[in-house]
């Protein structure tokens, strides 16, 4: 089953001679429960593609279908609800709420949606990510690597259809980056999540099940499943 289907996706900025095709006629499918990396240099279109997949931006033309839902047909309000319920975001800068504890940050999206917290599932995630005993701490009491683990836990806790990670190790040292990526891959497998991560680092990308390369808005290479 494909959790992501993208058909002839275009995102164009500017007009005339200044027109830029950030994403240029991209089509791809991603099956459920895979850890996929999208690799490309700065300005290649990978961040634009990730934003389109998450419904944070609207395509100029083309379709994005996530878990059977066509994002192109949704209103802004419907997209907001879709993002909250079906997409887990992991950002480079963590985006944790500084006045909330680790636990409160993790369950915040669930509470915003008015849903009941699956305490057993959240505890599983906390244990798996090595955050046991830190639930009551504020983010400023944690290292960068620990804050990123909280961000991963938050993305997993609401059981989204997909998790989108935007350069999640960009602010971490190399050792912590390897730890976080290992945990991300492990949790994706353990909790049966589809993870799509963008990076400019080819070495990091090779940790994924599948590597997709984008340059100048085109998919120039698509890795085989391993």
Domain count, the chain: 1
Is 16 part of a structural domain of the chain? no
Is there a contact between 2 and 31 (Cβ–Cβ < 8 Å)? yes
Lowest average pLDDT, out of 4-8, 37-41, 60-64, 105-109, goes to 37-41
pLDDT at res. 48: 93
Structure-model confidence comparison of residues 26 and 174, the more confident one: 26
pLDDT at 27: 92
The answer to whether position 83 is within a domain reads yes
In a domain, 24, yes or no: no
d(CA 216, CA 6): 17
Q: Which domain holds residue 191?
A: 33-60+73-222
Quick check: is 112 in a domain? Answer: yes
- Confirm whether 3 is domain-assigned: no
Q: Is the pLDDT of residue 221 over 70?
A: no
Q: Is the pLDDT of residue 34 over 50?
A: yes
Residues 6+ away with beta carbon under 8 Å from 221: 211, 212, 213
Asked if residue 20 is part of any domain, the answer here is no
Banded pLDDT at 93 (limits 50, 70, 90) = confident
For residue 197, what is the domain's CATH number?
3.40.50.300
pLDDT tier at 208, thresholds 50, 70, 90: confident
Model pTM score: 0.88
| Residue 215 to residue 176: CA distance in whole angstroms | 28
56 is a domain residue: yes
State the pLDDT at residue 59. Answer: 92
Q: What is the pLDDT of residue 188?
A: 79
Q: Are 144 and 93 in contact (CB under 8 A)?
A: no
Q: How far apart are alpha carbons 197 and 211 in whole angstroms?
A: 10
Q: What is the mean pLDDT of residues 113-131?
A: 91
**Is the pLDDT reported for residue 16 higher than 80?**
no
The confidence band for 25, taking pLDDT boundaries of 50, 70 and 90, is very high
In a domain, 217, yes or no: yes
Average pLDDT over residues 86-98: 91
């Amino acid at each position: 089953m494909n959790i992501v289907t993208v058909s002839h996706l275009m995102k164009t900025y500017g007009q005339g001679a200044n027109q830029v095709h950030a994403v240029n006629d991209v089509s791809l499918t991603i099956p459920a429960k895979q850890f996929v990396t999208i690799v490309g240099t700065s300005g290649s279109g990978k961040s634009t593609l990730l934003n389109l997949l998450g419904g944070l931006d609207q395509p100029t033309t083309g379709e994005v279908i996530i878990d059977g839902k066509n994002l192109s047909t949704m209103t802004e309000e419907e997209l907001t609800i879709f993002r909250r319920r079906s997409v887990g975001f992991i950002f480079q800068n963590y985006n944790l709420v500084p006045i909330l504890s680790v636990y409160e940050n993790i369950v915040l999206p669930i509470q915003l949606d008015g849903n009941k917290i699956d305490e057993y599932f959240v505890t599983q995630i906390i244990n798996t990510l090595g955050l046991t005993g830190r639930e009551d701490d504020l983010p400023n009491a944690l290292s960068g690597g620990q804050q990123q683990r909280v961000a991963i836990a938050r993305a997993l806790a609401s059981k989204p259809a997909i998790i989108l990670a935007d350069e999640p190790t960009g602010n971490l040292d190399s050792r912590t980056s390897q730890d976080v990526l290992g945990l991300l891959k492990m949790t994706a497998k353990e909790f049966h999540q589809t993870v799509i991560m963008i990076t400019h680092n080819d070495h990091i990308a090779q940790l994924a099940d599948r590597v997709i390369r984008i340059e100048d808005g085109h998919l120039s290479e698509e890795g085989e499943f391993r």
